[in-house]
Amino acid sequence: MQELLANALSMHQNGQLPAAAQLYEQVLTQEKENADALHLLGVLHHQQGDHARAIEEIGRAAALKPNVPAYHANLAEAYRALGQFERAAGCCRMALRLWPDFPEALSNLGLALQGMGRYDEAIKPFQRAVEVQPDFAAGHNNLGNVLRELGRLDEALIHFRRTVELAPDYAPGRTNLGQMLLDLGRPDEALPHCQEAARLEPDRAAIQHNLGNVRRALKHFVAARIAYLEAIRLDPDLARAHVNLGLTLQQEGELIDALPWLKQATELEPKNARFWESLAEVYAELEDSEQAIPCWRRVLDLEPERAAAHNGLGWGLQDEGRPTEAKAHFETAIQLQPDFAGAQMSLGGLHEETGDLAAAESAFRGALRTQPNFALPHGRLATLLGGKLPAADFAALEARLADPQLAEGPRARLLFGLAHVLDGQRQFTRAADCLRQANAMTLEIARQRKRGYDPAEHEDFVNRLLAAFGPEFFEKTRGCGSSSRRPIFVFGMPRSGTTLIEQVLASHSRIHGAGELRVVRQTFETMSIVLNRNAAPMECVAHLDAAALERLAHEHESNLEKLAGTSSERVVDKMPDNYFYVGFLAALFPNALFIHCRRDMRDVAFSCWMTDFRSIRWANDPAHIAHRCRQYRRVMDHWQRVLPVSIEQVDYEETVSDLEGVARRLIAACGLDWEPACLDFHQTRRSIRTASVTQVRQPIYTRSVARWKNYENVLAELFANVEEPRTK
């Protein structure tokens, strides 16, 4: 019987688990109470993942021979594998009563305490284990893990290195040393250790996952994806591999592809706040605040005092036109983390929107006091104050730009700000040089993140748009849609005066300015749902009928009511790019007021090139600007030919030279009585989400007319490409 048991143990140690199990069972057939066979069979089942069976078998062995420390120590590991940490700790303590310096039992007790989150307590048994057995590789590895959890990274590194010295072929020690080096910012050193661990144990998911982490840090994105996918293949429930695969795709600019992996991670571990935060950040990068907001709220449900989540939620709420709620979250973030410069910047941006420019300046300066080397507040201050930027701030901005270690993203933000200062000081040549550099950097960053502008793709969109909304469409939909006169749609190229016109209108007591909204695009993109068709919105246009148009109009009005309430007689629905959707809107709301804002295209082109837009991708390249302007003209010329409704044309140059005349004409077109407050638009306090926020807080001025002439030599080719006589 002993010979049979010895053969079984040899097979077990050599990894021949099925054959070993058969021999253990053979022993137990003849000797049902053979404690050694029961114990070893239980260990084998534990190794195979059948922990419940292991507990039964090892427990019986311990009952038969209660004075064997190894039985209790291994029973502890089976309990720990099932997450029963208290029971595991109890088994370890029983083993240690029998043998106080039993290294494995000491180590297993540390693991059980670590599983309960009692890291400070776990250190002592781990330390004792390596004291009594200095060459205990697994003990050093476990001690390194708990030290890393406590943030004692240098000490952890010592024990991981000792693990590898003692057992070079011990894969857990190799992978942990690699991950530790990665945590310390040394991915080049980490890579060979993680590669060796994967060679030693290619079928362990955690090891593949760690290899993916190192590959991602080194920007070996394809190799990182391979490792993460292998980890998921080995363990489909390894949530952190899903989330890190999603983050890899995010780094590569593949945001849509990243979403399913991040969502899967939150489904696998719904109480992991970091996973929800990662998902929220991708939605935010996609400018999908509607989806980001519930993710941020989920983070705060799990961790109410997570300052970054309050800041993120504030951004989403601000983006959805809910400034009061956004402000509360920004202020909470600062209260929770007073040195959170990013939240101070967010609050400053919100103050800009709501017209409190002094408070905005104060918030930006607060961010600088908190984090003097933070580039963004320098840039925002410069843009806010322009030519009036104090000399000390000017010097600080230039000092940051002189830092050779400054990354291109922050450097571009500073250069845009400096250009505004120099332009205000009439140093046009130097301002142009700053803008040339800033736009080139921003363009390259967008290219690397696969977020650049594709002229051919946009032109194809315009082609399909014009084909979909031809004369036949308007003939078919005549008499359909809503009879409501409430919406006022304001549109045009960016920097064409849309914000100014909205502010003038919103200064009337019976008109609500809803701000820069994405509601029109959202309504357009719900066509497939309303029509119950699995097709892109443009492909659905031909299938619109009276019922669908009525439903879409109703949903659009409902969305406006959420933002504007029901008290105002008219609501301004403003978004420059809504010029694409004028045909769609005319079918939904044939009685609405349509206001097209126009401006000398050379001023539009230059102003776009000078503006540090958050999401406009075509404004950094003169060739892209010219292309966008040409496509804009195609669209507006098309509407002029086929649209069954009239459009109020408003020229920026006429507005600044005859504000009262233009304002009276528009108020009359709204069917309302004149109110002098419309001329004092700069005193109207409301949230304004646009790059023109500082301009519309001032009385009317003409210095932006023909501003392009200051840069005629620099952008001559651009201006020649966009110049075109304006038709009435």
Residue ranges per domain, the chain? 2-209, 276-448, 455-722
The H-assigned helical ranges of 201-306 are: 205-217, 221-234, 239-251, 255-268, 273-285, 289-302
- 685 burial (CB, 10 Å; 0-12 / 13-18 / 19+) is exposed
Picking from 500, 488, 513, the residue whose alpha carbon sits closest to that of residue 647 is 488
- Give the pLDDT score at 686: 42
Q: Can you tell me the distance from the alpha carbon of 685 to that of 353, in angstroms, rounded to the nearest whole number?
A: 9
Buried b (16+ CB within 10 A) or exposed e, 426-438: ebbeebbbbbbbb
| Cα 587 to Cα 475, 514, 643, distances in angstroms | 10, 21, 9
Which residue type does 330 have? Answer: F
Q: Which long-range contacts (CB under 8 A, 24 or more apart) does 46-50 make?
A: 46/74, 46/77, 46/78, 46/81, 47/17, 48/17
The tokens of 107 are what?
Answer: 């180590």
- For residue 650, the cross-strand partners are 597
Top CATH class, 276-448: mainly alpha
Q: What is the pLDDT of residue 517?
A: 76
CA torsion through residues 524, 526, 527, 533, sign = positive
User: Which CATH number applies to 455-722?
Assistant: 3.40.50.300
Residues of the chain below pLDDT 50: 686-698, 727-728
- pLDDT score at 683: 67
276-448 and 2-209 share a CATH fold: yes
- Supply the pLDDT for residue 702: 63
Beta bridge partners of 596: 491, 649
pLDDT, residue 452, reads 85
CATH number of the domain located at residue range(s) 2-209 in this protein: 1.25.40.10
Q: DSSP label at 487?
A: E
Selection from 185, 159, 184 nearest residue 172 by Cα: 159
C-alpha to C-alpha distance for 316 and 329, rounded to whole angstroms: 10
Prediction pTM value:
0.81
8 Å CB contact between 314 and 291: no
